[in-house]
A = this chain, B = another copy of it.
Amino acid sequence: MTHKLLTALAALSLCAGSVDAKQWPATTAEVIAASAESDWRNPDPEQTLYLDINGGRVVIELAPEFAPAHVDNIRQLVRQGYFNALPVVRSQDNYVVQWGDPDGTRDLGKAQAQLAGEYARAAANLDGFEPLADGDVYAGEVGFSQGMPVARDTDQGQAWLTHCYGMLGAGRAEASDSGNGAELYVVIGHSPRHLDRNVTLVGRVLTGMELLSTLPRGTQALGFYAKPEQRTPISQVQVAADLAPDQRLPLQVMRTDTEAFAAFIASRRTRTESWFLQPTGHVSLCNIWVPTRINQPADSSD
């Protein structure tokens, strides 16, 4: 809670949790500093969206392994320019912001109008998944797969994305197949995990959350704005692959199937920074984020 957190980076070299193949340091900042180039990946530009709003850019990574039909549909909509100049219609405190066509008149073009919900996928072949040590209130197992927070139920044979801060979902009406990706929301508060498997999650915000989380809250039920002029317009949404390579953001994401990421989780779980009086010794899924960096390690000081 003070500047001192940043400077309290004593050179500790203890191991924690499942990390034992190498001597990793103990704080999140140290783990990131000690990571190798091979611990990072460049997100696939075809699975990356740039959403421009209020003069800034939100970078989103899609999750085709979990919601392939929605991801395809969203990319189709983006490439048609569907979201350009549409507004954020809803901002509910401690819950979600949501954008889409408030009038419902914009042409969906070649995109599907109805998609079956993609609420869960097969648990088999869940890439790189390692269950967290401390369990979860909502699911049998939780962890990360391909950069996304995931729950798994081996009895049911299902795995699904979880509603952590920054997750992107496709709003739907009452019918299970009434979502199509034309109305999207992002979690801006404490994780509403009761939405898991009730709405199709389609990806995650990598950077730029503050552009969404600080939007004025709507005063109507569910955070809808009372007047159209209160809505914030989205300038444009683009697929990163449609920009020239030198126009894309040089953003990198830590691989979640690496020893470095296991060390990062361990550093979140057992806090060795000198400021901490209690090292905690536990960590929940949504209190772990996946580090990103632009040419240099990102701030990881909380």
Contact = CB atoms under 8 A, between A and B. Distances in A.
Q: Please list the 4 inter-chain residue pairs (A to B) with the smallest Cβ-Cβ separation, ordered nearest first.
A: A210-B217, A137-B284, A1-B171, A194-B280
A294 to B, nearest CB: 14
Nearest to A176: B277
A138 B171 CA distance: 31
Nearest to A219: B210
B190 A286 contact: yes
Interface of A: 1-6, 8, 92-96, 98, 117, 119, 134-138, 164-166, 169, 171-174, 176, 185, 189-199, 209-210, 213-217, 221-222, 224, 268, 271, 274-278, 280, 282-284, 286-287, 299, 301-302
Contact of A268 (B194, B215, B275): B194
A181 to B, nearest CB: 13
A283 B196 CA distance: 12
Given A4-B173, A196-B280, 9 more contacts: A2-B222, A3-B222, A94-B166, A134-B138, A138-B282, A164-B190, A193-B284, A194-B268, A213-B217
Contacts of A213: 93-94, 189, 213-214, 217
Given A194-B280, A277-B117, A283-B194, A137 B137 contact: yes
A262 to B, nearest CB: 18
Contacts of A284: 137-138, 193
Contacts of A92: 302
Nearest to A223: B302
Contact of A287 (B136, B192, B302): B192
Contacts of A199: 1
